[in-house]
Structure 1
Amino acid sequence: MKVRDFYPLITTPHLADVRDFYVAQFGFQVVFEASWFVYLIGPGEDGTRGATLAFMHPDHPTRPPGPESFNGLGMILTIEVGDAASAFDRLKDGDAPIVHPLTDEKWGQRRFMTRDPAGILVDVVEQIEPAAGFWDQYMAED
């Protein structure tokens, strides 16, 4: 089987708000939009297609299984960027809620978190060098 795409489909009544959030804050583009569905593609590198994300209104006309709205618990979307500090400044200046400050983590990430209009935590990360010896304690011994 060849997988052509893989994306979360999040049910929320806030379609316009989440669309505008990902377009304004992360440069996603709207590829398809209907009154009950929004499909977004993020910017890729070197002209390639980036990450994809979709949102569905709970009043979807075909009533698929599980149309209940997302309650904001138990899910984090991680967006990896090349420069978390500049992304942090851009989102903060754009009035996105910052729920975890820009932090250099010992395991090798510079990150911060925001929350989108559907209630999803969005973890914005940049890979950096981990603290010396941090991963040694987690490595399996032969």
Structure 2
Amino acid sequence: MSIRRAIPVVRTDDLGESRGFWVGFLGFTPGMDEPGFLMLRSPEVETTQVIVADPTAADAKVRDVDVSVEVSDVEEAYADAQRRGLEIVYPMTDEPWGIRRFFVRAPDGTVVNVASHRG
């Protein structure tokens, strides 16, 4: 299994204000711009990303995680997490927007969304 990208998740109550900071001040560009949800990327390095979500995000579960990690093989990651006895916070799920994912809790309490895009 290889890691394709890791994306921190920022929770906000004011998406417009957050957009002003991340886009206006830091210079990120929107890769996805949905009601209540932004996936922002660096204009120079597209895999340098941040997710910003407010309480109205279409993917309500995004606010339950601290970081999202895209892997090459989510099935392998899920099996490994189970073998290690890690706490699965959200079971393996095929989401309607084209990803397969699960959430796992790291020993420090961080909740990680582990996902792959479906073929």
Instruction: Calculate the TM-score normalised by the size of structure 1.
Output: 0.39
Larger radius of gyration: 1
Instruction: Calculate the TM-score normalised by the size of structure 2.
Output: 0.45
Q: Which has the higher strand share?
A: 2
If asked which structure has higher relative contact order (CA below 8 Å, sep 6+), I would say 2
